[in-house]
Structure 1
Amino acid sequence: MSATHSHADMLPKGTLYLALALFLFALTATIIVRIAHIPPAASPAAMRTEAHIAPVASRDLRFLDRADGAVVIDDVRTGQNAAIIHAGEKTGFIRGVMRGLARERRAHGIGDTPPFNLTLWQDGELSLTDSATGRSIELTAFGTTNRAAFAALLPATKPAA
């Protein structure tokens, strides 16, 4: 009794050709970018610097967790509370952003002492920068409602004359 066993048709030839074409496309695109010296996309911070866009309002904030689940947001310069977010309030975006930044700080062995800088720019963008890691988050990219949650933490600004 002889049984023939073949693996010849495990993958259709079309799939292999498609995978090869995708690989060759990626390789070709990489080579073109390298040879043509095409620069990577600039970061928003670099673009603001190049365009000489100045801050309109800025605040150094420290986010501290309380035992009751609330988050206390302190203004580092004045020592006053900027806000207190109680557990269950509709400010999950602030909690989510800060949870991610705190996780990164823990990975680098950094505590919660260094402040975060919240800045409103002349072009209307809003950014949050971790002074300890240098990581910057463009908050405008998350929509108007989420942006407004952080914008409320800034002091009122005077209209331009």
Structure 2
Amino acid sequence: MSGLQASTLTRKIAPDHFPQWVLYCAAGIIAFSLISVGLVRITGNGPDQKAAAPTVQRSLVFQDHNDGGVRVEDGVTGKTLTVLQGEQGFVRGTLRALTRERYSRGIGSELPFELIARVDGRVTLFDPSTGQRVDLESFGPTNTGEFARFLAMQPE
């Protein structure tokens, strides 16, 4: 073996190093995230911000029928506003999401929901028994209208 080959074989190979810039970037992203969340919480501009004042509010009770329909009652008077027949996908899906939480807490369907139209044009379906709410405008004007019509309905 020549001297060049021998020195190459005996020289220690340096271990791989993780690039420090990656660690600095990760630390920066984490710090930015924590600061952003802190600012949103402090300023109150987060998803749990205070809702606008209500313009119209109505208590509603939804009762399933054996024939697959859903009876919508005024939560105060108990009078029937309408009976929903057919698929009613958005209404049923929204109610299913809210009633799932009720049943997990052992709360029945006899307690009313609150349907609230707000000054800023938003419509919210709120369950006072669980504290859950669905901001209906998030699903578009057609789906919001499916619930908003209950605000103006008179008993049958």
Name the TM-score class by shorter chain. Answer: 0.7 to 0.9
Q: CA deviation at 1:128?
A: 0.8
CA contact (8 A) 1:74 1:80 kept: yes
Aligned-partner Cα distance in 2 for 1:126–1:45: 15
Higher helix share: 2
Change (3 A) 1:28 1:128: same
Are residues 1:39 and 2:40 paired?
A: yes
Asked whether the 8 Å contact 1:57–1:155 carries over to 2, the reply is: no
- Given the alignment of the two structures, is residue 129 of structure 1 paired with residue 126 of structure 2, yes or no? yes
Aligned length: 134
Equivalent residue number for residue 29 of structure 1: 32
SS at match of 1:123: coil
Change (3 A) 1:44 1:32: closer
Tell me how far 1:135 sits from its aligned partner. Answer: 1.0
Distance 1:114 1:45 in 2: 26
Partner of 2:68: 69
Relative to structure 1, the CA distance from residue 93 to residue 29 in structure 2 (aligned partners, 3 Å threshold; closer, same or farther) is same
Aligned partners of 1:128 and 1:136 also within 8 Å? yes
CA deviation string 1:94-143 (max 9, x = no partner)? 10000111111111111112110001112211111101001111111110
Is 2:93 aligned against 1:103?
A: no
Q: Does 1:114 align with 2:118?
A: no
Deviations 1:32-53 (A, max 9, x none): 347xx413233466142xxxx3
Question: What is the rounded CA distance, in whole Å, between the counterparts of 1:153 and 1:45 in structure 2?
Answer: 26
Q: What CA distance in whole angstroms lies between the structure 1 residues aligned with 2:25 and 2:66?
A: 53
Q: TM-score, normalised by structure 1?
A: 0.70
CA contact (8 A) 1:117 1:129 kept: yes
Deviation of residue 86 (structure 1)? 1.1
Residue from 83, 90, 94 that aligns with 1:93: 90
* Aligned residue type for 1:93: F
Question: What is the root-mean-square deviation in Å for CA atoms of aligned residues?
Answer: 2.9
Q: Give % identity.
A: 32
SS in 2 for 1:106: helix
Query: Which AA in structure 2 matches 1:85?
Result: L
Q: What's the TM-score, normalizing by structure 2?
A: 0.72
Structure with bigger gyration radius = 2
Structure 2 gap ranges (5+): 1-18
Does 1:153 pair with 2:150?
A: yes
Shift of 1:27: 2.3
Residue identity matched to 1:137:
V
